[in-house]
Amino acid sequence: MNHTEPVTSVENIDTSPKTFQLHQNYPNPFNPATTIAFSLPQSGFVILKVYNILGEEVTTLLEAHKPAGQYAVNFDASALTSGIYYYTLTADISSPSR
């Protein structure tokens, strides 16, 4: 199941991070929305996905080329059932675009 509508916004909050980081979402626990932040020290193709406790993909929040910077993705999970969810960030910083 792959939904793209839960993303409210993707915001670049800084342009000079020193390291690659995936931050803890806030608030946690959340109901019905949360923010997931990450940092890219250089530009690359980024994929941010959410999975349920069974490891099944629930949604892809972001799949795009992003310049270096710090980002915050607002995730509206109001259409999902209550439970535990995990998120992963994959970044290909070796190629300029996909």
Residue 76, C-beta contacts closer than 8 angstroms, at least 6 positions apart: 6, 7, 8, 32, 33
How much is the pLDDT for 6? 60
19 within domain boundaries: yes
97 within domain boundaries: no
Amino acid at 37: A
1 within domain boundaries: no
User: What is the rounded CA–CA span in Å between residue 4 and residue 54?
Assistant: 20
Q: Supply the CATH number for residue 45's domain.
A: 2.60.40
The total of structural domains in the chain comes to 1
Mean pLDDT of 27-44: 90
64 within domain boundaries: yes
36 within domain boundaries: yes
57 within domain boundaries: yes
The DSSP letter of residue 68 is S
User: What is the rounded CA–CA span in Å between residue 73 and residue 10?
Assistant: 5
29 pLDDT tier (thresholds 50, 70, 90): confident
The first and second tokens of residue 25, run together, are: 């979402």
Range of the domain at 73: 7-92
